[in-house]
Amino acid sequence: MSSFTEEQIRRYSRHIILPEVGGKGQRKILETKVLIIGAGGLGSPIGLYLAAAGIGRIGIIDGDVVDLSNLQRQVFHHTSDLSRPKVESAKAKMLAINPDIEVATYNERLSSKNVMSIFSEYDIIVDGTDNFPTKFLINDAAIFANKPLVHGGILRFDGQVMTIIPNQSTCYRCIFHNPPPTGLVPSCQEAGVLGVLAGVIGTIQATEVLKLAVGKGRLLSNRLLTYNALRSKFREVKLHRNPKCAVCGEKPTIKELIDYEQPVCAI
């Protein structure tokens, strides 16, 4: 405990008092570097809670600015942040909660060009993106970089979470193979989403990150947790790695990162 300041001992006392975390676990949390992809609905609760928990270095990537229609669920951003780059707004809120951490911002889109160099700076990757091309890019890059990835998705009243341990557990591509054809799955504004769903799913993703950091508990790997808000129902789907998976299967055919065409959003 000697390596903590007085202030840290008080700030993190409710963690330190948990036998499963303790001073040792909190130290690990402070030493963990986490990349959050997307400063939107999922990224907001993930970032706010991980900052509060004392994740030592948080990276956040997003190339968008705050829009009025974001505020219904993207709790990083306040009304006074309209038109501000999302990563700047996100950084300010995380540091306001906890000035004890470092926040790195990337005001850009993730692509095959920058993903590996950004991933190399972090221990854990968290997916808070909306679009499927990026979800597949993140999955493949996490497999190549051998970094644990916490996947999350929300749509209307449903959400899903899964933790991917590369080459040990089921990956996103094991399940979903390829991005859906553009326009078929509503991934944009037109589908709608109950705002609080981002909080439910994002905080479960943040929980997975803390379990990974501390090394305790049973991860959501090889199981997809789904939640339906209308029925208040959680379900767990048991999964197995897909031997035919194009990126982590027995004979992988994907050896380079792919920039799938981004769907064009109406409006």
Partner 1 sequence: MQVKINGKQEDVNVKNILELLKARNVEPEMVSVELNSQILDRKDYAATSIKEGDTIEFLYFMGGGVAKEAV
| Interacting residues with partner 1 (CB under 8 A) | 37-44, 61-64, 67, 69-70, 73-74, 86, 109-110, 127-132, 134-135, 152-155, 158-160, 174-177, 180-181, 184-185, 187-189, 191, 193, 198, 202, 224, 235, 237-240, 242, 244, 262-263, 265
Distances (CA, A) of 15 to 4, 22, 24, 53, 105: 13, 6, 10, 8, 27
Alpha-carbon distance of 147 to 63, in angstroms, equals 23
**What's the min distance (Å) between Cβ of 7 and partner 1?**
32
CA distance 39 to 58: 12
DSSP 3-state assignment of 227?
A: strand
Choice between 30 and 125, CB closer to partner 1: 125
CB atoms within 10 A of CB 78: 13
Half-sphere exposure of 227 (CA within 13 A, CB side): 20
The least CB distance from residue 97 to partner 1, in Å, is 19
Q: Rank residues 90 and 219 by Cβ distance to partner 1 and give the closer one.
A: 90
If the CB atoms of residues 29 and 246 are measured against partner 1, the closer one turns out to be 246
Given the complex with partner 1, which of 19 and 181 has the nearer CB atom?
Answer: 181
Q: How far is the CB of 130 from partner 1 (least distance, A)?
A: 4
Q: Supply the minimum distance, in Å, between the C-beta of residue 230 and partner 1.
A: 15
What tokens appear for 155 in the block? 């749509």
- CB of 43 or CB of 148, closer to partner 1: 43
CA nearest neighbour of 155 among 132, 172, 126? 132
- Nearest-approach distance from CB 146 to partner 1, in angstroms: 22
What is the residue-wise DSSP string for 124-153? EEEE----HHHHHHHHHHHHHHT--EEEEE
